[in-house]
């Protein structure tokens, strides 16, 4: 127990530490609150509390990859969460002659067991991470030379910060562990039995056997001050360190808006004439949750491991974006907290313009992040500013924009040619069949791209064979605006979406009147699926949209179509999950169920399902030249598919069809690329 003088000194030290920590925390809070977007209500956070707590305590998203590192990280994070209670208990024992929660109570026994275990997990985990960074110099914790970094990061700030945090954690948990060892040794010297609820501490206590009782109490006293004093010394520095993610990741889980899909962007209300600037140029213009992202970032670089642009040598690193944001905020915290405008735009320090346009909007960085960060959205909002305010974007996109504006398709071909693919086929339009039960949204690629037209014809054959009561819009159909939106031209997307919503409502899609079942929309393009089904609702268009592989799965299960069976020797197929099908919308089983209905031998690539690797066409990349790097995204993905030994690469997206087909032709290995609909149509009985 502390002396009276020590108790007074401790109160003074706590007051000073809390005051200076409050100053830092208050600045961070004021900066974050400058961000745009609605702030969470108490009711919203209360509804999210359980889900957020489970993710935060269990570090759930982190287990998707690097499971050994995640195990050690869980030991540290769970330990420090429990240490909120441990530190409180230690202070209580320092002030009063009691054993926190009791010596011989079940709750006291369980408490001591967990404190003993978590002390060791923190120490072991911290030693692992320090060795990983400073001894083994893990390449996963580094950035390539072509990645833009703010000056402190380029000069080693992350390593310095990591060392400071690591030493603090070792000092805090290590001193607490040594203090427990001295305490248990003193208890043993006083004739008390071995505390079996503290196995690690009891083992440590044997090292101090033979020391006299006063010396043991002095050791216990010294290490109490070192353990608690380390917290008081570190607390004011806490908001400026990477360790801040321990708190801010929990805030991320608690306050982040629930999206209808992983890739659903926030809209701009162009009818609001008070908006003077569109998109994001400066860091304080970001949504406030994306400022939280900067402080939540654990700097683990998992996001850049899965980023197709980074993997193929381009200048984009989602991790570097968040880290640059964090260090820029820290370097200008007082000014920004006081309401000053940033001197520099994000493109001046957070990333290069080449990096901005290298993003494929695949969502892999969002999906893999262990703390819920969304760097992809920063990029999308920055693109909006470049397009709408600066008129600065890759020149190749201008043709696509012009085509969407004038002819309703990025190919810039006449709208009168939209139905040419259906020549010679019995394809009913909404005028021919106004009582349709399902609307087939054909999409631009199957309407204009010769290779994708094969998919459309195959799907039409399946629908007709199955007797589906469907119709298409024909010349009433127009591009959904996905390419415009992902490349930053939100104004063009807004106009196209409003026009399509008006058309869909006029033909009665989504309305069930008189108790009738609402009409569904089916599409062979995941981008159309996502845009119509998940984003048109923001503008008042609410529709049930399914992917064609989902419909094929339904028809197969209902016995409405039958297929010839293949064999492993002939039908070795690997399925490439489109990003906007698997990761963005969670549809991974339907295409595989359909392929397996043919008895095909489905081989999985290492990266599949929600962790699939991008083909390289999303985010407007289909319409522009790929940024310079060490490899092309589609070629990397093709090589992974071919390595499975498959004869056929199955896809479920017209963009993926083009990209994988181009890579297959270039490789010249005889591997063919087909849409799932083509594979089924070839085998129809």
Q: How far apart are the first and last CA of the chain?
A: 85
Q: Are 675 and 650 in contact (CB under 8 A)?
A: yes
Return the minimum-mean-pLDDT range out of 254-258, 328-332, 680-684. 254-258
Alpha-carbon distance of 328 to 324, in angstroms, equals 6
Q: What per-residue confidence (pLDDT) applies to 567?
A: 65
Q: What per-residue confidence (pLDDT) applies to 60?
A: 82
Percent of the chain with pLDDT over 90: 82
Q: What's the whole-number mean pLDDT along residues 601-623?
A: 96
The structure tokens listed for 320 are 């570097």
Alpha-carbon distance of 510 to 505, in angstroms, equals 8
**pLDDT (tens digit, 9 = 90+) per residue, 192-224?**
888 899 999 999 999 998 888 989 999 999 999
Percent of the chain with pLDDT over 70: 98
Buried b (16+ CB within 10 A) or exposed e, 449-459: beebbbbbbbb
Q: What's the whole-number mean pLDDT along residues 600-629?
A: 95
Is pLDDT of 570 > 70? no
Q: Taking Cα atoms as reference points, which of 343, 358, 326 lies closest to residue 147?
A: 358
**Which pLDDT band, with edges at 50, 70 and 90, does 363 fall under?**
very high
Return the minimum-mean-pLDDT range out of 92-101, 251-260, 533-542. 251-260
Q: What's the whole-number mean pLDDT along residues 178-192?
A: 90
Q: Are strands 648-651 and 601-603 parallel, antiparallel or unpaired?
A: unpaired
The structure tokens listed for 570 are 């002939």
Q: What per-residue confidence (pLDDT) applies to 522?
A: 98
Q: What's the whole-number mean pLDDT along residues 519-528?
A: 96
Q: What per-residue confidence (pLDDT) applies to 511?
A: 62
**Which pLDDT band, with edges at 50, 70 and 90, does 313 fall under?**
very high
**Which pLDDT band, with edges at 50, 70 and 90, does 487 fall under?**
very high
Q: What per-residue confidence (pLDDT) applies to 513?
A: 47
Number of H helices, E strands in the chain: 29, 8
Is pLDDT of 422 > 60? yes
Cα-Cα-Cα-Cα torsion 430, 432, 437, 443, nearest 10 degrees, comes to: -40
**pLDDT (tens digit, 9 = 90+) per residue, 74-128?**
999 999 899 999 999 999 999 998 888 888 899 999 999 999 999 999 999 999 9
**pLDDT (tens digit, 9 = 90+) per residue, 643-685?**
999 999 999 999 999 999 999 999 999 999 999 999 999 999 8
Residue of higher predicted confidence among 270 and 384: 384
Residue with tokens 């109570």: 105
Instruction: Please report, for residues 187, 201, 388, 477, 520, the alpha-carbon distance to residue 422 in angstroms, rounded to integers and kept in the order given.
Output: 88, 77, 37, 14, 21
Is pLDDT of 275 > 90? no
Q: Taking Cα atoms as reference points, which of 579, 578, 588 lies closest to residue 550?
A: 588
């Amino acid at each position: 127990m502390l002396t009276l003088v020590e108790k007074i000194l401790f109160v003074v030290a706590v007051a000073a530490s809390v005051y200076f920590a409050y100053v830092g925390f208050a600045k961070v809070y004021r900066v974050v609150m400058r961000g745009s977007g609605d702030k969470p209500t108490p009711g919203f956070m209360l509804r999210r509390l359980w889900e957020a707590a489970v993710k935060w305590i269990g570090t759930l998203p982190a287990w998707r990859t690097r499971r050994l590192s995640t195990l050690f990280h869980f030991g540290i994070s769970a330990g420090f969460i429990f240490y909120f209670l441990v530190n409180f208990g230690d202070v209580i024992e320092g002030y009063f002659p009691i054993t926190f929660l009791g010596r011989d109570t079940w709750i006291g026994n369980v408490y001591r067991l967990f404190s003993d275990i978590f002390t060791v997990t923190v120490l072991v985990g911290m030693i692992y991470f320090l060795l990983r960074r400073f001894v083994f110099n893990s390449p996963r914790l580094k950035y390539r030379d072509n990645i833009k970094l703010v000056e402190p990061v380029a000069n080693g700030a992350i390593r310095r910060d990591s060392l400071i945090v690591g030493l603090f954690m070792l000092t805090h948990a290590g001193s607490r562990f040594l203090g427990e060892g001295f305490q248990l040794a003193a208890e043993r010297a006083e004739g008390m039995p071995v505390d079996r609820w503290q196995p690690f501490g009891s083992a440590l206590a044997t090292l101090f056997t033979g020391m006299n009782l006063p010396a043991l109490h002095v050791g216990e006293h010294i290490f109490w001050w070192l353990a608690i004093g380390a917290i008081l010394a570190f607390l004011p520095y806490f908001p400026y360190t990477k360790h801040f993610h321990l708190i801010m990741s929990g805030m991320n889980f608690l306050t982040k808006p629930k999206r209808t899909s992983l890739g659903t962007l926030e809209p701009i209300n162009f009818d609001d004439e008070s908006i003077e600037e569109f998109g994001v140029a400066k860091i304080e213009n970001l949504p406030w949750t994306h400022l939280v992202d900067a402080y939540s970032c654990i700097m683990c670089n998992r996001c850049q491991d899965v980023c197709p642009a980074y993997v193929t040598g381009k200048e984009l690193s989602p991790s570097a974006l968040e880290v640059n944001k964090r260090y820029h905020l820290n370097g200008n915290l007082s000014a920004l907290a006081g309401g000053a405008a940033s001197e520099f735009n994000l493109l001046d320090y957070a990333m290069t313009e080449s990096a901005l346009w290298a993003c494929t909007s695949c969502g892999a960085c969002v999906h893999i992040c262990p703390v819920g960060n969304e760097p992809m959205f920063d990029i999308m909002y920055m693109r909006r500013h470049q397009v709408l305010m600066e008129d600065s974007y890759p020149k190749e996109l201008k043709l696509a924009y012009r085509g969407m504006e004038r002819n309703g398709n990025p190919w810039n071909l006449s709208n009168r040619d939209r139905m040419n693919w259906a020549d010679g086929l019995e394809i009913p339009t909404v005028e021919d069949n106004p009582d349709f039960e399902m609307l087939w949204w054909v999409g631009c690629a199957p309407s204009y791209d010769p290779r994708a037209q094969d998919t459309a014809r195959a799907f039409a054959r399946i629908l007709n064979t199955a007797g589906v009561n469907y119709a298409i819009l024909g010349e009433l159909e127009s591009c959904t605006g996905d390419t415009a939106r992902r490349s930053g031209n939100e104004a063009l997307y807004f106009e196209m979406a409003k026009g399509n919503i008006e058309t869909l409502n006029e033909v009665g899609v989504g309305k069930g009147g008189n108790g009738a079942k609402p009409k569904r929309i089916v599409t062979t393009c995941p981008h159309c699926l996502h845009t119509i089904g998940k984003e048109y609702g923001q503008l008042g268009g609410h529709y049930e949209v399914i992917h064609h592989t989902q419909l094929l799965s339904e028809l197969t299960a209902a016995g409405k179509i039958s297929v010839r069976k293949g064999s492993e020797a002939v039908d070795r197929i690997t399925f490439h999950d489109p990003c906007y099908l698997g990761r963005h919308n969670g549809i991974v089983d339907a295409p595989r169920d359909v392929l397996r209905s043919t008895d095909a031998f489905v081989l999985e690539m290492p990266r599949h399902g929600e962790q699939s690797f991008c083909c390289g066409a999303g985010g407007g990349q289909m319409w522009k030249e790929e940024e310079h790097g060490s490899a092309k995204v589609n070629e990397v993905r093709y090589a992974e598919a071919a390595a499975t030994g498959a004869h056929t690469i199955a896809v479920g997206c017209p963009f993926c069809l083009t990209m994988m087909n181009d890579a297959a032709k270039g490789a010249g290995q005889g591997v063919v690329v087909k849409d799932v609909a083509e594979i089924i149509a070839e085998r129809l009985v």
